[in-house]
Chains A and B, each alone.
Chain A
């Protein structure tokens, strides 16, 4: 990768892999990944909650790991793989719907992205409890049991 020096109000251009496709975007260097996803690329499934890395509503996966997109400057995803809620097939959310894991829905995209990471990496449970893995996704409606139970259910389904 070549060094680039950006000055003043100059826009930056980068490429990255978004939900499996290569995309190029031009953005203000101040933009967070959350801003680029929502306002430049029009993917509004990712929500802004607290803007301080606490609530997890803006969770996306970068190179397979959950991160708060409100804390990631867009220039840091050049060459990376980003997956957002838009990559999730709604048909795979049965356990969530049946388990009452979603109510107002504001936290749900972030919750689903972290859950997807857990489902893709079942070995995580050797060292972590589900509640610890999900601790970065706050929900003010469901009381968490529905969310945790639904992920348990999803894990059972994926292993059977």
Chain B
């Protein structure tokens, strides 16, 4: 037995989830055996796992998890999701087309099943501007080059599941963009399992070299009777003067649960536009950790949170301004119907030295049923002088004056409400420059708008 395979003592009382995760780790280590010694990422994995076990999984007492109810997740005994559940060729093709951009042109489409990229070799290598690889296919020197980027997430509670991802990801996708990509790159994540209590750890690293520009769309969907818990991590690394428009769209089923962490590291004068859209899922937590680490870096992030039926949506953004003349803007719009709950929990930290930093946080929530709930918590921590920071947060119901105006013009109630909800979300939707993705998101929204009867009851 190798050193890493010994049981790891955890400090806090371990939940069933954590105990099962430890068992998964031990099984993995035993299976990897001697091969592990050659894996340059093995040390990273092992460190990450030890820290997860020492620190435990976060719960509702932890600050950034207060709006995510993980009780049922922590009570679960997770099992390994075996490979070999990749869809057949036809299935893969169908899935690839049935993505947010429809038949529109794209730079490439990558299907990732339970975190394992399905790559057809000729496609990925034809384009010099765009290199797409499986982490498992990278040579040792290549891995060493990106090791720093893959890095170890911090010990902070908000990054705990990302730490777990670092320990257990089966494979991952590495994308390197070194020029101007005219069409979007589509990454379609498929989560599927035939057995309950699966846990998968998709991992994506996207690098833009200096001056590169691209649009990347990540789309999460699930199939099968027992979608595994998704614990995904995407890392965006923007070089100097690069521009990226990134989408992460969750269209999972009501039975699916997902914990996603997105980290953004931006070099000088880079510009990142990020869109997060939660359109499905039973529980979806999206985290964004951004570091504006050099002068002139600019981040616009927009979130569209759709609470429907019993869905829980928790959006946690932490944006750190680490350098002067950095700018961040956060816009989020949440609607909640049924018994759903949507939360927007954000923090902007302006660190010392980040003079002339500018930040804006704008949140608006629209409650569409009496049993729905929306929480928002914009926070600001400023350690530098001469900064401009603003935040605004409002939550309310559908404006009765607007509704009456539309009804008085003869529009039926459902159309009027739909229009008003659209109008409410328009700030975020209109910012999306990929028209077909925007249209697909709009289409997905419509069936999730509340029934007129429910609203009448509510009034």
Is the pairing of A and B real? no
Name A's B-contacting residues (CB within 8 A): none
Name B's A-contacting residues (CB within 8 A): none
